[in-house]
Amino acid sequence: MATDPGPRYAVYFVPAADSDLYRFGSAVLEYDCYTGEPVRPPDEFAGDHDGWRKMTEEPRRYGFHATLKAPFHLSPTCGETQLVSAFQSFAGLRRGQANLSLAVQTLSGFAATVPERPDAAINALAADCTTIFDAFRAPLSPQERARRIASGLNQSQIENLNRWGYPYLFADFRFHMTLTSKIEMNRRERTLATLQAIFQRMCASSSVSIDRLALARQDQPAAAFRVLSHALLRSAD
């Protein structure tokens, strides 16, 4: 009988709950990962709500976020209280702050909110989250490793997977806030146009400061992630 590995945790950037950007993303996904409650979808979904609901089903489980430390099970030597304490301490370290100008684009076939240009500060933050919180990560299961390998990884990504439990890190990292699963080619253009129109309508500004972190928890595989703890980042200024 398999042992229950327990909940999964992840370190995210989640915009402030009262921000235009969060209202946009949580409406598209129809889920608020701060409260765990459903959110009314944008009016633009009314003509094909079932189609949009299906297209956003997979990212809905994760909430509107950008991953900085990919989901992991806790090491048997660590507890949730220790993780939360380390998370809060990490947020208190002085560091350069990233300010990003965002746009809705397609990325590997799915729609996401992404920076218009790379930013060294956000890449450094993601690298720090990867390495520092790895002390709390249980080893990757053989089943999960096999699933990742089967998805098609290059040598660098396989090395990341073996060492850090996740392939898309460091040179392979790209900050993004997922809005859909992979979109069928014949509807990709109109889907993107609709999401861009919603973004322009709901967000007064396309810029965001990466000024906070969220520690999210998923109680079981079928459950949605929910913010367990959050903290403002301490600026180096």
Residue 160 domain-assigned? no
Residue 165 domain-assigned? no
Number of folded domains that form the chain: 1
Q: What is the pLDDT of residues 75-127, one digit of tens each?
A: 999 999 999 999 999 999 988 889 999 999 999 999 999 999 999 999 999 99
Q: Give φ, ψ of 229 to 5 degrees.
A: -150, 145
Residue 94 domain-assigned? yes
Residue 194 domain-assigned? yes
Residue 24 domain-assigned? yes
Residue 46 domain-assigned? yes
Question: What is the pTM for the complete model shown?
Answer: 0.95
Q: What percent of the chain has pLDDT over 90?
A: 94
- Residue 185's CATH number: 3.90.1140.10
Q: Are 111 and 183 in contact (CB under 8 A)?
A: yes
In terms of residue numbers, what domain contains 24? Answer: 8-141+171-232
Q: What is the mean pLDDT of residues 6-21?
A: 97
Residue 34 domain-assigned? yes
Write out the two tokens for 95.
């560091």
Residue 132 domain-assigned? yes
Closest C-alpha to 31, from 47, 48, 14: 14
